[in-house]
Chain A
Amino acid sequence: MLRGFGWRHAGRRNWAVRGVDLHIRAGERVLLLGPSGSGKSTLLAALAGLLPEDSGESEGTVTVGGRPGILFQDPQTQLVMARSGDDVAFGLENTGVRATDIWPRVSDALDRVGFAYPITRQTHALSGGEQQRLALAGVLALRPGLVLLDEPTANLDPPGAELVREAIAKALDPDTTLIIVEHRVAEALPLVDRAVVLEPGGGVIADGAPEVIFAGHGPALAEQGVWVPGYSLPRFQAVSTPADHLVRAEHVTVRDRLPPISLAVSSGEVLAVTGPNGAGKSTMALVMGGLLAPASGRVTAFDDPKPPHRWRARLLAERIGSVFQSPEHQFVTSRVHDELALGPRRQGRSPAEVTRIVDDLLSRLRLTALAGANPHTLSGGEARRLSVATAVATAPRLLVLDEPTFGQDRSTWIELVALLAALRDEGHGILAVTHDEAFVTSLADRVHDLTPASPLPRRNTSRFGPST
């Protein structure tokens, strides 16, 4: 299928993918692995026929037998129509399926993914997991011979991700070929019978049954950053006991978004906040970060008589570093380097100090090669590391992080967690909203679970962007 394939994005010096030789037979289920930046997504886009000739340079050949269908990470930018049934019908209309055949195929596809609502259900009223199931139905309705999944569960909470994996497992015909890119390898394994490992710029380095690959190349792959199942992660235990409170919330609420909550973060500790989508985790992070005023209750921080949301931005940034759910919201310059230098410069550090801080963070978080790139062109994992780095650069006493480990490979994950552990041990306080169980096990000193006692009322959680 792929012979010596390579692709270079316009304006980049390095090849995103190069020298890939791969033959995949009909009906195979393949997991595509590789460290961050090995071009997995680019390869999928090439197979889906989504690399326009004028957007870069290609070499080698790609041949696909049968119609490809692709599912991306973000459900919000995949759903086209307002009503669920219309969205599944969209692809059928485009490909000229006879009008009388459309609706039977729509209900067939919806049945296969286990969609539980009538076809008139508004797509924006669905949860992330349900939206992603619907998007999968839209792909399957076209009866693709090759299904490509590009981290289909990355934006979802664990129950939502489970919903989607179940739907994938049940919905595929035996003769449908599947290629999946997924960071959470352990969770994707039940879906596949073959694993292919890519190396940045080096083509395929391992190929075969997953057990064989992990037995033969396990340590090397783990070293390279692949999430090999069964390899333990370092644990970072606090060296000292938490000292005084940095921030404390008492009976804080936000209308429609956050039920009453009381919690405190002390210096020298990592508090993990967990819970399902829509429980108000991100809202809570905004309140604790001094960005959103609580509707009732009190937030006190740094022994300041004024609550954090009334502080001037400059003082706030000095004391509390916030990392948002969507990293791209936070970028205010056009170069990765400037993005990191901004905070320290505003603090009045000397140019030499700024350079030292920036270079240190760039190399620790493996961003040095991207120092001159525009932050908006980074991959999801790189953008996430950069946003954490910008918050860390000014060394605020309190860090409020929303999903800090999102989209990381094993190596960058360990670097990131080690960096946060070091900050904690220097006496910084960290509040992290997370779905990542490994993060909780590895780093958290305390866990605050926001899972509500009664089932959540169903509502659109997208008021503040896609909720994870």
Chain B
Amino acid sequence: MSLAVLARRNPVAKLGAALLFSLPLVATLDPVTPALALLIELLALPFFGLRYSVVLRRAWPLAVAAAGILVTMTLFASDRSGSVVTSLGPFVITTGVIRDALGLVLRVFAVALPGIIVFATTDPTDLADALVQNAKAPARFAIGALAAFRMIPLLTSEWQMLSLARRARGIDAGRNPLAKLRLFGSTAFALLVGALRRGGRLATAMDARGFDSGLPRTFARIQKFSPADVALLVVTALASGAALTVSILTGFFNPIIG
């Protein structure tokens, strides 16, 4: 039997849980709250049927962001309190700097991971269905976004064709960086024009099939919001509250306001 009981929860419940869990983390600057949150998230992973290696692969852009934060903080942090650990030329690295940098890096991971978990375990169609049925989002928005989302992969091949077509017309930038920038701009504009035209055609086809015609919609795929989904939300809120409580009790809590 699979452990992945949480992956099957209603997409809106998962999204809500991710928000409930991440939001309190934004309220504090200390490293303890996000560290605890991260720990809880990692413990919850198997229940979403996710392997750590998969999450690691999806989270690599976060590592880049974290490295960026680390560099920026060491170089430019204004609060250089605490004892001096080391100094790199003009940059004095203090325990205060390390604490703040660590807090920020952990926060990036702790806030983003719930989102990664939700999107890795949720089919976009199911999410759109649940948004309309359980969160009462307008179908015009949810289904429209879903249809647009499906066109995104086309943009890569479109870009390639536009670049080739420009070369075929005798237009290239050579080694001139300014010409490169101009060519990039004109190709991007053509991509936008093409995307709008394709979007227009898709919208016409959707209209022709009665989309957003003012009639009440019915649902071919039913998304249920069950007691288990409520339980997921409650447990998430408790877990997030627990992390905050520990941080307050241990004196690390450092509210972002005040």
Contacts and interface: CB of A to CB of B under 8 A. Distances in A.
A232 interface: no
A81 B151 CA distance: 11
Contacts of B210: 91, 94-95, 142
Contact of B220 (A92, A318, A462, A463): A92
B169 A50 contact: no
B167 A72 contact: no
B226 interface: no
Given A80-B202, A328-B194, A329-B162, A291 B168 contact: yes
Interface residues of A, number: 63
Contacts of B216: 96
A462 B164 contact: no
Contacts of B198: 76-77
B206 A80 contact: yes
B165 A324 contact: yes
Contacts of B211: 80, 90-91, 94
B160 A342 contact: no
B217 interface: yes
B124 interface: yes
A138 interface: yes
A314 B206 contact: no
Interface in A94-119: 94-99, 102-103, 106
Contacts of A464: 157, 160-161
B186 interface: yes
B221 interface: yes
A324 B197 contact: no
B54 interface: no
Contacts, number: 152
Q: Which of A69, A102, A291, A343 is the most central at the interface, judged by chain B CB atoms within 10 Å of its CB?
A: A291
Contacts of A83: 125
A343 B169 contact: yes
Interface residues of B, number: 50
Q: Which of B172, B216, B220 is the most central at the interface, judged by chain A CB atoms within 10 Å of its CB?
A: B220
Contacts of A98: 218
A344 B165 CA distance: 17
B219 interface: yes
B167 A313 contact: yes
A390 B143 CA distance: 40
B124 to A, nearest CB: 7
Contacts of A89: 220-221
A317 B170 contact: yes
A254 interface: no
Interface string B191-202: 001100110011
A105 to B, nearest CB: 10
A31 B168 CA distance: 39
B168 A93 contact: no
B147 A80 contact: yes
A325 B62 CA distance: 39
Contacts of A22: none
Contact of A291 (B150, B164, B186): B164
Majority-rule SS of B interface residues = helix
Contact of A343 (B165, B170, B221): B170
A346 interface: yes
B82 to A, nearest CB: 53
Interface in A331-358: 331-332, 342-343, 346
A346 B170 contact: yes
A412 interface: no
Contact of B161 (A97, A324, A390): A324
Nearest to A72: B205
A326 B215 contact: no
B165 A77 contact: no
B168 A322 contact: yes
Given A72-B201, A142-B210, A464-B161, A82 B172 contact: no
B208 A48 contact: yes
A465 B161 contact: yes
Nearest to B160: A464
Contacts of A342: 169
Interface string A138-170: 110010000000000000000000000000000
28 contacts: A69-B208, A69-B209, A74-B201, A76-B198, A78-B202, A80-B143, A80-B150, A80-B205, A80-B211, A82-B125, A93-B220, A95-B210, A96-B216, A99-B219, A139-B209, A286-B164, A289-B168, A291-B168, A292-B164, A313-B167, A313-B172, A317-B169, A324-B164, A324-B168, A329-B162, A343-B170, A390-B169, A464-B160
Interface of A: 48, 50, 69-70, 72, 74, 76-78, 80-83, 86, 89-99, 102-103, 106, 124, 138-139, 142, 286, 289, 291-292, 312-314, 316-318, 320-322, 324, 326, 328-332, 342-343, 346, 376, 390-391, 394, 462-465
Given A72-B205, A99-B218, 6 more contacts: A77-B198, A80-B143, A102-B218, A106-B220, A313-B172, A376-B197
